[in-house]
Amino acid sequence: MLKDFLRFWVRISFGSLFWIVAVQMAWAMLLLFWILAYLRRHAAVAAPGAGLFGWGLGFLALMILGVNILVIHYAQQTAQNRVVKDFVSRVSHDLRSPLASVKLHLETLLMRAIGPEQARECLEAAWQDLGRLEARIESVLLAARLERRKLRIEAQPVDLGDFLARYLARKRETVVRSGGRLEAGPLPALPVQADPALLEKIMDNLVDNALGHCPPGVRIRVELARKGRLAQLTVADDGPGIAPGDRRRIFRLFYRAAAARGHGTGLGLFIVASLVKAHGGQAWVDSPGAGSSFQVVLPLGESGGRQP
């Protein structure tokens, strides 16, 4: 922490902020000493001068504190701007890849004489790429609505166990094609008030997060249990795990762990945490060593449909 702070000070020492702060402090100190010198020369007794000197030191301390607050705010803004630029670069790359693939398949259909089977394969591949493109755009738009608290939850009674069983049956083939294994643990019938479409987005992001950040052959296990008046959903994997310093931050907007710099856009887990919170629940991760276990708790039989 101290090393990073010193490195930041060295970096900004050659920037405009440093010189603005330095000039303001020099001007304030010059003014302070001029006032003290004037008062000492014209004061009848020395005591008032000493008192004013104390007030001057207090004023100087407040100014130093204000300067440090300004520098910390500047550092946070600089880091946020860097994160946003990095996110825009990643999203641009992620959008460009499926677009290039769709263009290639369409050019193949237009420029070459191919048989019906090959034409169908090209169309299916282009359709899948368009689905990937649509999913990425929807994630960006959903994250923006969640960040602005503009998403409304359309809650209805849902049997969470039945919902998860049907979801896993649909998702299992996709996970196998991606080189993973999707397993179901206990899935008891637990009633919750939730938006089924948004529940599916929560599950998609948790499962896709495991697929994207774990090596091929990863085993993903989904379980459900009752904890008092809460339904606790667990999505666990046997991947490399998450570093302690990243566990609290991975749910932040745009954040990506150091070990995952080449994967994802930093939206998935933010969407998970925000949607769970919008349903009146909470999300966290346990990763004591190898493997990670993402936990989601939702209230049983209580209305979770409110604007986040």
DSSP, residue by residue, 20-82:
HHHHHHHHHHHHHHHHHHHHHHH-SSHHHHHHHHHHHHHHHHHHHHHHHHHHHHHHHHHHHHH
- The alpha carbon dihedral of 144, 146, 148, 152 has a sign of positive
Helix ranges (DSSP H) in the chain: 2-12, 16-42, 46-111, 116-147, 160-177, 196-213, 268-278
pTM score over 0.95 = no
CB half-sphere exposure, 110, CA atoms < 13 A:
6
* Three-state DSSP class for residue 225: strand
CATH number corresponding to 156-299: 3.30.565.10
In angstroms, the CA 288 to CA 273 distance is 20
Local confidence pLDDT in tens for the 308 residues of the chain: 555 555 655 555 555 556 666 666 666 676 667 666 666 666 544 444 455 556 666 666 676 676 667 667 666 666 666 666 665 666 666 677 778 888 888 888 888 778 888 888 888 888 887 887 777 777 777 777 787 777 888 889 999 999 999 999 999 988 888 888 899 999 999 999 999 999 999 999 999 888 888 888 889 999 999 999 999 999 999 888 888 777 778 888 777 765 554 566 678 888 899 999 999 999 999 888 788 899 999 999 854 444 44
